[in-house]
Structure 1
Amino acid sequence: MPDRRPALLGKLALGLIVLLLVAFLWPLRTVPTGSRGVITVGGAIKGIEAEGFLLVAPWQKLNIFSVRAEEATVEGAEGSTSDTQPVKVSLTVRYSIQTNRVAEVFEKYSHDGNLQSYVQTATQEVFKAVTARYNAPDLIAKRAVVSGDILTALRTKLDLYGAQVINVDMRNFAFSPSYMAAINDKVTQEQLRLGAENKLKTVEAEQKQKVAVAEADASAARATADGQAYAQLKLATAQAEALKVQNAALAQNRDVLELRRIEVERVKAEKWNGQLPTAIYAGAPIPFFNPQGASSGKQ
């Protein structure tokens, strides 16, 4: 019986070779999401393909190029303020490759879209240039403005490399230990000053309140005294007017009473028969005899 093993092994080897050729020459490829496919032939760029399936000829090469957002971190970036104070900061820059410049970046800077080294270098340079425009106090007080200046300058610089900056985060912003100590002392003194001013304002407010209360009490007392004096004046005036009215009434009443007395005497005289009483007791009245009138008449 002939040995069939050599023939079987030959078929298996041939099949494996065919599979390898098919895998190598298989034209259907995939470009993942967030990437671009750079087609090259002999190193020269022949086209840029979007995400999805595409057919690649055996003589072409597909290079996957990322256009996703990437991060570049710069730890301890150093700069100097306009008043020569050294300053350090850590920055994180988020960026991505401009999709319309993939071929340019692939040709000049990166075959996969990673520009981390370029971004780090550019960030260091921009940080030094921006901090040199500010003195140390302004760099602290205007941190948001400084961050905006860094973002604007970095966008301009990285645009040269075909990258667009999404945002910049600053961390661990710090000056030299001696300067930070001076700042802390200044802040402490300022807080003490503000505390003293607030205490003084409180004391002044309390004093003003006491003065206002005293003035109000004095005004109330004056008003009360004025009211009492006015009331007494009105009472005295009313009493004086009443006395005048009473005196006038008494003066008029004397004349009326005298006339009535004379009328009564006249009526008595008309009714008298001319006879005197035969018996006169002590204190009894004698008709038409007025000792006071007689004495006054004699006088």
Structure 2
Amino acid sequence: MAQQALNNLARGAIGIGAAASLAQASLFNVDGGFRAVMFNRLQGVQKGVIGEGTHFRIPWLQTPHLFDVRIKPRNISSSTGTKDLQVVTINLRVLSRPDEEFLPDIFSSLGLDYDERVLPSIGNEVLKAVVAQYNAEALITKRETVSHEVRTALTKRANEFHIKLDDVAITDLKFGKEFTSAIESKQVAEQDAERARFLVEKAEQEKKAAIIRAEGEATAAAVVSEALQGSPALVELRRIEAAKEIAETLSKSRNVTYLPSGGQNMLLNISSASSSA
């Protein structure tokens, strides 16, 4: 009896374990930001898209495949020729995600690595087509327009593969050595021309200032000359003021003790002259 009870208990444990394993194999989870596409061994890829949460499946017969539907960044680089035959390397930043409604079609035609299969090829295709319409210099001056054309064309091509593009932008432009050297030489020439223009304008301003200053000095000299001719006493006053300034300067020097002027001290003469005046 005891042996039979143990056997029954063992069979029951095995059955419970098998049932638990079967239940675990029959359930699968779809995490946030993911969607699932179900593959049936008898019917192929199912048309419906399975959302987030825990779901039931038939073990062995059905296999879920998870798609990441969150926005993913990608850099696409392409070296191509411009309209004037210059070589340019363009780096493109793309933010993409799959169109959830068409996930079964994407899985059937492209697989889970759809973005690796599609975006680099169509990105290079669009970049080459757009860049070929512009000269190298226009790519710099009309960068926003070029970026808009690339975004429009690439979005249209990606839609053909059920891929949505949330943002497309040109992040970098690199030209060949010859064109880069030509641009640098042009910039240096423009700077030299600007510097020469500044020197010419400076010389013109200095010339005008010198003319105005000369005219002012001539006018002042004419006014003084007229004043001197009209009043001889003014000449004497100027002479006394000049002699006084010279005498005061010399009197402060350690090497000069007195100044002879007609046998009398110059300071005394000036003082007396100032008193008589």
For 1:219 and 1:160, how far apart are their aligned partners in 2? 86
Give the Å deviation of 1:84: 0.7
- What is the rounded CA distance, in whole Å, between the counterparts of 1:2 and 1:57 in structure 2? 39
Q: What SS is found at the alignment partner of 1:209?
A: helix
TM-score, normalising length: structure 2: 0.67
- 1:35 deviation in Å? 2.0
What residue in structure 1 maps to residue 70 of structure 2? 68
Structure 2 residues without counterparts, runs of 5 or longer = 228-277
Aligned equivalent of 2:271: none
Q: Deviations over 1:270-293 (max 9, x none)?
A: xxxxxxxxxxxxxxxxxxxxxxxx
Q: After alignment, is 213-222 or 94-103 more displaced? A: 213-222
SS of the equivalent of 1:202 reads helix
CA RMSD of aligned residues (A): 3.5
User: Normalization by structure 1: what TM-score?
Assistant: 0.63
Greater Rg by CA: 1
The CA deviation at 1:159 is 1.2
- Aligned-residue offset at 1:87: 1.2
Is 2:185 aligned against 1:180? no
For the 8 Å contact 1:71–1:116, the answer to whether it is kept is: no
Letter in 2 for 1:38: V
Cα gap change, 1:218/1:43 in structure 2, threshold over 3 Å: closer, same or farther? farther
Deviation at 1:117, TM superposition (A): 2.5
Q: Give 1:21's aligned residue.
A: 22
The verdict on how the C-alpha distance between 1:191 and 1:3 changes in structure 2, with shifts beyond 3 A counting, is: same
Equivalent in the alignment of 2:142: 142
Q: Percent identity?
A: 26
Task: Quote the Cα distance in structure 1 between the aligned partners of 2:26 and 2:101.
Answer: 30
1:15-74 Cα distance to aligned partner (Å, 9 max, x none): 433322222234xx4322222232343323241133234444555443222211123333
CA distance in 2, matches of 1:85, 1:120: 22
Change over 3 Å in CA distance of 1:30–1:212 after alignment to 2: farther
Unaligned runs of 5+ residues in structure 1 are 229-299
Q: Which residue of 2 aligns with 1:248?
A: none
Distance in 1, Cα, partners of 2:178 & 2:13: 78
Give SS of 1:82's match: coil
- Kindly tell me: are residues 97 and 113 of structure 1, through their superposed partners in 2, closer, same or farther at Cα, counting changes over 3 Å? farther
- Which residue number corresponds to residue 82 of structure 2? 81
Q: How far off its partner does 1:9 sit?
A: 6.0
Change (3 A) 1:213 1:33: farther
User: Are 1:73 and 1:93, in contact at CA under 8 Å, matched by a contact in 2?
Assistant: yes
How much has 1:5 moved relative to structure 2?
Answer: 12
2:190 alignment counterpart: 190
Partner AA of 2:23 in structure 1: V
Distance 2:58 2:122 in 1: 39
CA-to-partner distance for each residue in 1:128-157, whole Å, 9 max, x for gaps?
Answer: 111111111112222233222222211111
**Deviation per CA, 1:152-184, whole angstroms, max 9, x where unpaired?**
211111111111222234345222212212221
